[in-house]
Structure 1
């Protein structure tokens, strides 16, 4: 009984706990629903407030847009009216000014040219009185006044007078190290400036001068200008292009630079020319000495000397006991030996004369190949890139022809000299053979005469 009562009590307690837990869950759910409802209400209130603010901003912007549109319409109408007024005023100005507009254009054009002359020419150094007037005319947007036109005329007159004046002044000079110093100079009209170093390159935009890379031949200096004639006239080299031609002198290659442009082929040609000239000088001296000795030998044929004719005469003296045929062959042998000695080196000279233009042609072909390679790599837009190959092609051709002409002339001259000496030897040899034949013929004729008697 007690166990049953205890079980019933525990069951009742358990049911009470379940009921309590269910009541707690129901209360929590109700509380959460109330909080969610409050949160939703707050969010709806915020959304309504934001909607009202955006609507207010929209209305404000629409009002501003309508105001701006109204202003735009007013400005457009005013702009149209201004265009009409401007067109009428321009037409009125054209009718009233007439041909003054063309005059104004001519004045401005000449003023611009004079402005460049004033600011860039060497006359800028001591002729700046009316420069501001010229600048005002160039920058003006209306017709120039009479005062400005008078100033322009005075500026032209000033420049014309300055172009025919010699004026001593001081200028800023920039040397090769970039050092600036004040140096005395002589202004030669509007053509240039001369210092102790000769002509200088005037930089009008910087108001300074620099030395030209190369001076003209017999160019004047500041010291040479002091030696004036009695009439105040000095002879000098003047560059009418105001420094452009003098500046181009630095681009003119010298003889050494031209020879270097010929490359290896050009040096070979020059080497052959030098060798040929040495051969020509040596052989020419030898032939001249031989001709001198032969001339002396012809005056004294009885005493053979150490010369070609003397050696031929020596053969005759040794072979007088031989027959005419044997003597003729011995003399011919001696003449042939002397001829080979006289013509020694002439074949080499002829070979060099023929080889020089062929080497020039080789250099030309090599230079053109190099030029085409450069064109293939860099195109033909810049001529300076192709200058090396073209220079080699032209210089080697010139060197080949220059080397061939004196060598051919030397060969021809020396050959004629050797031929002349050979003719003398042959003539003397024939004379000796004839003399020997006469000697052999006289005893035969005497014996024949004796027999006849």
Structure 2
């Protein structure tokens, strides 16, 4: 606006005075207009200056407010920094305490987890799982957990231990699934003997915890309990029982323990031959022993009545003496002839007394030799099996080795009683022969004395 006014003024000054003279009204109006514009301009400038001052005051107020806010924030920052340092120190202390506590809890968790594993094994392998496995799932959760167990899980572990301890001291009637030897499945009544065994009508039964079913043992112990026996215990009191403390291991091994019949069958053909020899030798020994015993009794009776010869070896010797002494004396024959006749009779009687003893001796000698034969045969069979299947599995070689050992044992077992019987019977025969010889010599001596006196 000022520039426009100045331009107008310059134009007016440079205009020819002729024009001014000719237009006096126009110049005055132009000056007036210019002055008016100047006033407006000044008013506008004043208004702008007032706006500027107001803006300056507003900005100054904002600056003062920001400075105050900055000071306040700096103060708060210092306070927070102090609090942070304090919290950091306290946090470091708490972290150290947490580390120590976590280590203790880690050890505790290891103990808890090991206890849970032991209890889980007990539940899975023991017969108490039939009716006392309420907390098995909680125990399994602790075993598989990767973090510290909760209080609920610890309580479940404790209750599971109490449950197993209580069940181990009970004789409880239960119903359980059972598969018999023919493969049929049914529910049967049984008794649980603590954590040791299950007893049914057939005796002890084996519990399969994986399939949750019971099956019979292949072999029962002698005088083992049955369901009726345990019912009597439940009603009347205490009854002695045969219990497997190994919880079924010994009962399983009982099936692998062969009976005497099975052992004899393992001896094969050679073992049967040895047993046959033992039976024959036993019959001979029994028969000859009875015969010799009867003869000894007859001889004892004959010694009490020597004048009346009987039907026994001594009686036959006396008969020979009485029948021949007068004849030999009348014919003038020497006493030596009578002695020889008596000796002949004694030798005949000795042959009858020792009849069968040589067979016993032969059988006693053959038995260990046959046992050795069975041993060699069994080892040959073992080596053949090794050649075919190798020696990786000892069970493959068990048959031949069993045959070798069984035949050896059978041979020795057969030889010893046969030798003992032969010795006893030989002693008895020798005793009887000595009695006959003594009596014969006595008779000859008596006759020799009579002959000498007569001469």
What TM bracket, shorter-length normalisation?
Answer: 0.7 to 0.9
**Which residue of the other structure, out of 390, 410, 427, is the alignment partner of 1:416?**
427
- The Cα shift of 1:146 comes to 1.9
Q: Structure 2: any 5+ residue segments left out of the alignment?
A: 1-94, 329-333
Residue of structure 1 in register with 2:31 after alignment: none
Residue of structure 2 in register with 1:174 after alignment: 179
**Which residue of the other structure, out of 253, 256, 268, is the alignment partner of 1:251?**
256
Residue of structure 1 in register with 2:367 after alignment: 356
Indicate whether 1:200 and 2:211 are aligned: no
Give per-residue Cα distances to partners, 1:253-303, cap 9 Å, x unaligned.
Answer: 111111111111111111111111111111111111211211121121112
Indicate whether 1:365 and 2:376 are aligned: yes
* SS at 1:419 equivalent: helix
Give per-residue Cα distances to partners, 1:373-396, cap 9 Å, x unaligned.
Answer: 211221111111101110111001
Within 5 Å, give how 1:219-368 maps onto structure 2: 219-228=224-233, 232-320=237-325, 321-322=327-328, 323-368=334-379
Q: Taking structure 1 as the reference length, what is the TM-score of the superposition?
A: 0.75
Q: Structure 1: any 5+ residue segments left out of the alignment?
A: 1-89, 445-453
Stretch deviating more after TM superposition (392-401 or 202-211): 202-211
Residue of structure 2 in register with 1:108 after alignment: 113
* SS at 1:440 equivalent: helix
Q: Distance in 1 between matches of 2:405 and 2:261?
A: 15
- The Cα shift of 1:92 comes to 11
- The Cα shift of 1:105 comes to 2.2
Give per-residue Cα distances to partners, 1:192-251, cap 9 Å, x unaligned.
Answer: 111111110011122211111111111111101233399832210111121111011111
Quickly say closer, same or farther: Cα 1:164–1:377, change in 2 above 3 A: same
Indicate whether 1:191 and 2:202 are aligned: no
Q: Distance in 2 between matches of 1:348 and 1:244?
A: 48
Q: Distance in 1 between matches of 2:218 and 2:171?
A: 24
Q: Distance in 2 between matches of 1:119 and 1:287?
A: 68
* SS at 1:168 equivalent: strand
Give per-residue Cα distances to partners, 1:98-155, cap 9 Å, x unaligned.
Answer: 2222221222222122123223422122223322321221232211112211221111
Q: Distance in 2 between matches of 1:399 and 1:128?
A: 52
Q: Distance in 1 between matches of 2:382 and 2:134?
A: 55
Q: Distance in 2 between matches of 1:418 and 1:221?
A: 55
* SS at 1:193 equivalent: strand
* SS at 1:201 equivalent: strand
- The Cα shift of 1:93 comes to 7.7
Q: Distance in 1 between matches of 2:257 and 2:356?
A: 40
- The Cα shift of 1:91 comes to 11
**Which residue of the other structure, out of 396, 405, 413, is the alignment partner of 1:385?**
396
- The Cα shift of 1:442 comes to 1.8
* SS at 1:288 equivalent: helix
Q: Distance in 2 between matches of 1:169 and 1:228?
A: 15
Q: Distance in 2 between matches of 1:240 and 1:234?
A: 17
Q: Distance in 2 between matches of 1:360 and 1:91?
A: 80
Q: Distance in 1 between matches of 2:292 and 2:389?
A: 57
Q: Taking structure 2 as the reference length, what is the TM-score of the superposition?
A: 0.75
Residue of structure 2 in register with 1:150 after alignment: 155
Q: Distance in 2 between matches of 1:231 and 1:337?
A: 73
Q: Distance in 1 between matches of 2:211 and 2:97?
A: 45
Give per-residue Cα distances to partners, 1:408-444, cap 9 Å, x unaligned.
Answer: 1100110011001101111110111111112112223
Q: Distance in 1 between matches of 2:407 and 2:266?
A: 9
Residue of structure 1 in register with 2:408 after alignment: 397
Give per-residue Cα distances to partners, 1:34-65, cap 9 Å, x unaligned.
Answer: xxxxxxxxxxxxxxxxxxxxxxxxxxxxxxxx
Indicate whether 1:438 and 2:449 are aligned: yes
Residue of structure 1 in register with 2:91 after alignment: none
Indicate whether 1:376 and 2:381 are aligned: no
Query: How many aligned residue pairs are there?
Result: 355
Within 5 Å, give how 1:91-170 maps onto structure 2: 97-170=102-175
Q: Distance in 1 between matches of 2:297 and 2:101?
A: 102
